């Protein structure tokens, strides 16, 4: 059976008495660029019609965990102070990179059902690198304070660039939580695509 960019997945994972829900947020675009200057660019975009915004990053912040094999793992944090509310969701801005390498992030869902999640980091402080080639990747965007996790992973799309300078995949299908949330103490993962 063909996997899709899932429904607003109500996967319940009980850890320490806390129920954590994971939603599929497959990568419309996932890009990692490693130029000679070392000022890397990491860009992630997800669009679908089934995910929902659960949680409030203006209260507790959010995080974005990235794993590339090979290529490394990095947790990017976005504190509550950088988040503001907007219709249907929230936006993060840190143009001076005061809080880390994430420059911009957004999560929102419109009344018509369109969902958008994006993260943009551009800094020498981005430590993950393209693997030359990268075999698999996984990302986990987590709204802290009891909010949901939004996961993307290696799916059916073939990367259009995959060397030591650039990893680029578009319109991928993977929604498994192969990368744990930054706050996950156990490193356990959720496979949202196989929840039901």
- Domain range summary for the chain, segments of one domain joined by +: 19-185
Alpha helices in the chain (DSSP H): 57-60
Torsions phi, psi for 153 (to 5 deg): -160, 175
User: What is the pLDDT confidence band of residue 126, given thresholds at 50, 70 and 90?
Assistant: very high
Q: Is 76 helix (H, G, I), strand (E, B) or coil?
A: strand
In angstroms, the CA 74 to CA 46 distance is 19
3-state helix, strand, coil in the chain (%, to 5): 5, 45, 50
Q: Is 77 helix (H, G, I), strand (E, B) or coil?
A: strand
Q: pLDDT tens digits, residue range 46-71?
A: 999 999 999 999 999 999 999 999 99
Q: pLDDT tens digits, residue range 140-191?
A: 999 999 999 999 999 999 999 999 999 999 999 999 999 999 964 433 333 3
CA-nearest of 119, 121, 50 to 90 is 119
Q: Is 81 helix (H, G, I), strand (E, B) or coil?
A: helix
User: What is the pLDDT confidence band of residue 20, given thresholds at 50, 70 and 90?
Assistant: low
In angstroms, the CA 104 to CA 174 distance is 23
Pairing between β-strand 18-24 and β-strand 29-33 as defined by DSSP bridges: unpaired
Contact (CB, 8 A) for 140 and 11: no
Mean pLDDT over all residues of the chain?
86
Which positions ≥6 away from 17 have C-beta within 8 Å? none
Of 186 and 74, more confident: 74
Q: In the numeric block, which tokens belong to residue 192?
A: 């949202």
User: What is the pLDDT confidence band of residue 11, given thresholds at 50, 70 and 90?
Assistant: very low
Q: Tell the burial category of 53 from Cβ atoms under 10 Å away from its Cβ (0-12, 13-18, 19+).
A: buried
Count of Cβ atoms closer than 10 Å to residue 196 Cβ: 9
User: What is the pLDDT confidence band of residue 112, given thresholds at 50, 70 and 90?
Assistant: confident
Q: In the numeric block, which tokens belong to residue 91?
A: 């936006």
């Amino acid at each position: 059976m063909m996997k899709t960019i899932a429904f607003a997945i109500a996967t319940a994972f009980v850890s320490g008495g806390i129920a954590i829900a994971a939603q599929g947020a497959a990568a419309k675009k996932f890009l990692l660029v490693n130029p000679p200057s070392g000022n890397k660019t990491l860009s992630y975009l997800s669009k679908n019609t089934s995910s929902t915004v659960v949680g409030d990053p203006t209260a507790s912040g959010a995080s974005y965990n990235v794993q590339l094999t090979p290529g490394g793992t990095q947790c990017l944090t976005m504190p509550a102070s950088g988040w503001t509310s907007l219709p249907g969701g929230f936006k993060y801005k840190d143009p001076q990179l005061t809080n880390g390498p994430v420059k911009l992030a957004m999560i929102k869902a419109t009344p018509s059902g369109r969902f958008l999640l994006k993260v943009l980091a551009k800094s020498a402080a981005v430590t993950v690198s393209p693997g030359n080639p990268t075999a698999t990747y996984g990302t986990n965007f987590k709204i802290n304070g009891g909010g949901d996790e939004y996961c993307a992973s290696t799916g059916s799309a073939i990367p259009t660039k995959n060397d030591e300078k650039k990893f680029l995949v578009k319109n991928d299908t993977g929604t498994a939580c192969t990368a744990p949330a930054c706050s996950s103490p156990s490193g356990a993962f959720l496979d949202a695509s196989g929840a039901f």
